[in-house]
Structures are given as structure tokens and as C-alpha cells.
Amino acid sequence: MRKKTIRIGAGSAWWGDRIEPAAASAEHGKLDYLCFETMAEATVSAAQVRARRDPTFPGYDTWLDDRMRAVLPGCMRHGTRIVSNQGWINPMGAAERIAHWLREFGHRGVKIAAVDGSLITDRVLQIAGPILENGASAATLADTLVSAEAYLGAEPIVEALAAGAQVVVTGRVADPSLFVAPMIHEFGWDPLDHALVGQGSGIGHLLECGAQVTGGYFSDPGFKDVPEPWNLGFPIAEVAPDGSAVIGKLAGTGGAIDRRTVIEQMLYEVHDPANYITPDVVVDFTGARIEQVGPDRVRVSGIGGKPRTPTLKASIGCAEGFIGEDMFFYAGPGALRRARLAKRILEERFRIVGLQAEDLRIDFLGLNAIHGDATPTDAPEPYEVAVRVAARTRTREEANKVGREVDGMAVSGVAHTGKRVPHADRVREVIGVWSTLVPREAVQPAITYLES
């Protein structure tokens, strides 16, 4: 018997998201599903780089333990199923770790599914089309290739749910797919029904960024105020069988859900509202109806869909050198004057030591670091200035020159230079992310099951 409605909660919007709202939703949200989105474009490649440096890195979300400890008790108590892409480059390892925590909490025999198959590093250069950003052949990335992954859709998650999995953990899966999968499973939708899947994927897009639809990344004091922005609740969607939904949040949490927050999130990272491409469907937001139906409750319907594309998007991560970065400070009258002299000193010293940089920036935070050359020439002089120095280089050795020369400003620079004591690596590796399309049939998901 199909459910009349299902309740789907957002558990995270990115890797470093807050954990407390997810725990509250797990305990008090009366959820059927709690879904975690933890990836950015560069997450998989960054994980591969870390794995190369650190053999002990397990390859899954570094906050997985904290999240599972926070939500598993409530989810198991209330029968809430979990869908998560915290598997990163090791979904099976993540599934085994979740099984560990289930056993720790006394829950044995819980079925967990690990969805793999998104990593296509070994064959991407053979199956990829042109690079979308520049039209060049993917073969031009061969020498710098670190990792490549295709964006899987909802269907392997639906299969795992149909097989009885209480927890489904994946690698790279498109953000809305994590949320539309429970709808397809619970309502018995045909995955090729682009009208229903389009509506459901649109709701998934509203949920995927968590607190952004409840007032996070929205408030602008005096213009767009929201209550208690330090206590934002994560969104919960009450989804009907036609894919329409009421978006709400837990009572007593901060933030706001209204037509403005929903519309902003609906258009977030959407280049063409009529053609928002996902692995499952092409979503059309142009007919969406957004109605305030109560305090912090917005009904969303009328989102359309078009047939899925024959290709899947793939991200290719490449090693593209290093960035050396450091900072120092001036304060009081004349701070900007001293900062400008410090910039000239550093430019000359980088010339003396032969810094080979593809890009060099010396910015004055609080004055021109964001707008650069577009900063008004009559901008008010700040009372405090932080000088940020960054260079992009081909080698770590060149990048190290930034910190060495900034260190010299402590005793060989300008009067009243405030210098930090170096306490961390001031050089980081750069992972460039390129996009391409691969044939859908060339990517085959695999599901492995285990029990706690």
C-alpha cells in the first residue's frame, strides 16, 4: 500500500555542515527519510589527493562518525531511513563504518547498501566527450589527471531501498537524486516519467542545500531579516504522490521559510530555469507555483520535467600546481600607506628570489580584495588593513617562497608590521575541476549489501 505523503528531511548541505540540526530532525521530525548531501565539485579529487599522501585516510566523509553518532539513535527509534553520499571514494568503507556504529548502539541485522560505480578514472579519457569549459579533447588532461567521476542518478538508490536497505550510502550522486529516490520508491513512480520525476527532483533541489531554504545564506540585516540565524533548522518536505510538497522546519528552530527563501534557493546554481539538467530528468522550474500556506510553511507545485539526456556529466580533477599564501597586518593612522609600501617591497623581493608564479596577488583585505581593480578610487581609507599575499605556482618549492618572503617582513619590512607566527602549512595543492559528458550506458552502478 502506497503512502499518502512522506516526510523527507535534509541532514546536511555540504561536507562541513552543522550536525545539530540533523540530530534534531532525526529525533523530532517524524521523518520517513533523512538525506545527507556532503560533496562539492572537487570533493572526490581532494579525497584522492589525500589518499595518496595519507595511507590511513579511509576515503569517506571525515565527519561520518560524528553525523552517524548524532542521528542513528533517533533514526532507528523512529524507523527513519537514511540516504547519504558520504561514501566519497569508498562507499563500502563508509557502509562498514555505519554498521560499526549501529552495532555500538545495539542495532543488529540492519541492512546497509553501498552504491559504487561513479569513479571512472581508469577509462574517462576513452569515453569522454570534449571538455565543456574549453572544447578541447579530454586527452589533453592525461598528464595531470587525478580522478574522474560521473554523476549517478536515483535508480541505484531506489533499487537498494526496494531490497530493504535501511541505510544507503553512495559515492558521487547528483544532489537532487538523493532526495527524489525515496519518492520514486515510495510512490512507485516510473523513473522515466519525466513529469513526476521532474517535480520530485525540483523538490530535491530545494532540500539539497539545507538551511539555504530556511534562511541561511539569505539574511541581510535590515533588508532580509530572519529570526535566530544562529539556530537555523534544516528543511523538511511533506511530499505528496504527485511530487508537490510543503516545505517546513521544526517548531522552535530559527530561520524562516517563505516565498522569498524558496525562490532564492530554487534559482541557486541554476543557469537555465527551464532546463536544469540532472541524471534523472531535465527539470523545468518556469511553471512552479510557490504558495505560503502557514507560518514557515510553503507549498511548491507545478515544477515540470523533460526526458533525461543520453549522457551523464562527469567531473575530472587534475593536479594544477600549488598556492602559497600568507598574511600580515597594519592598524591605526597610515595603515594603508604602510601596506602599499609593503606590497612594493614584496614585489621587488619576489623578483630578487626569482619567484616563478602563474598568478600573484597582493590584496588589502577590507579595501580591494573582493573587487580588485573595480574598487572605487575614492574608497574610504580603512583603520586596519590585512595584507594577503598569494601566488599560484607549478611546484611546491616555488610556492614556499611566499611564506619565506612574508616572514622577512617581520624584521626587514615596514614599521608596525603585525605578523602571525607560522603554525600551519602555508602551501596547498591546487585541484582543477573540468567537466565533460560520457555515455550513460558506459557507467554501471554496483550495489553491495551488508548487515550490522
Burial class (CB in 10 A: 0-12, 13-18, 19+), 412: exposed
Q: What average pLDDT does range 358-383 have in this prediction?
A: 90
- The phi-psi region of residue 24 (left if phi > 0; otherwise alpha if psi is between -120 and 50; otherwise beta) is alpha
CA-closest candidate to residue 431, choices 209, 207, 147 = 147
Q: What is the pLDDT, as a whole number, of residue 377?
A: 86
Q: What average pLDDT does range 386-404 have in this prediction?
A: 96
- Across 47-56, 60-69, 390-399, least confident range: 47-56
Q: What is the pLDDT, as a whole number, of residue 370?
A: 85
Ordered by where they begin, the domains of the chain are 6-118+152-311+441-451 (no CATH), 316-433 (3.30.70.2750)
pLDDT at residue 1 is higher than 70: no
Query: Predicted confidence band at 157 (pLDDT cuts at 50, 70, 90)?
Result: very high
Q: Report yes or no: 400 and 412 within 8 Å, Cβ to Cβ.
A: no
Angle (nearest 5°) at CA 395 between 391 and 397: 85
pLDDT tens digits for 67-108?
999 999 999 999 999 999 999 999 999 999 999 999 999 999
pLDDT at residue 62 is higher than 80: yes
pLDDT tens digits for 403-445?
999 999 988 889 989 988 776 789 999 989 999 999 999 999 9
Q: Sign of dihedral through CA atoms 125, 114, 202, 224? A: negative
Q: What average pLDDT does range 356-385 have in this prediction?
A: 91
Q: What is the pTM of this model?
A: 0.93
Query: Predicted confidence band at 126 (pLDDT cuts at 50, 70, 90)?
Result: very high
pLDDT tens digits for 194-247?
999 999 999 999 999 999 999 998 989 999 999 999 999 999 999 999 999 999
Q: Where are the beta strands (DSSP E) in 137-261?
A: 145-150, 167-170, 236-239, 245-248
Q: Report yes or no: 422 and 398 within 8 Å, Cβ to Cβ.
A: no
Angle (nearest 5°) at CA 81 between 79 and 86: 145
Whole-angstrom distance, CA of residue 400 vs CA of residue 323: 9
Q: What is the pLDDT, as a whole number, of residue 347?
A: 97
Whole-angstrom distance, CA of residue 44 vs CA of residue 314: 12
Residue 334 has phi, psi (to 5 degrees) of: 85, 10
pLDDT tens digits for 4-55?
999 999 999 999 999 999 999 999 999 999 999 999 888 888 898 888 889 8
Mean pLDDT of the chain: 95
pLDDT at residue 358 is higher than 80: yes
Q: What is the pLDDT, as a whole number, of residue 423?
A: 67
CA-closest candidate to residue 83, choices 167, 201, 141, 196 = 167
- Across 50-54, 167-171, 182-186, least confident range: 50-54
- Across 116-130, 236-250, 340-354, 360-374, least confident range: 360-374
Q: What average pLDDT does range 180-191 have in this prediction?
A: 98
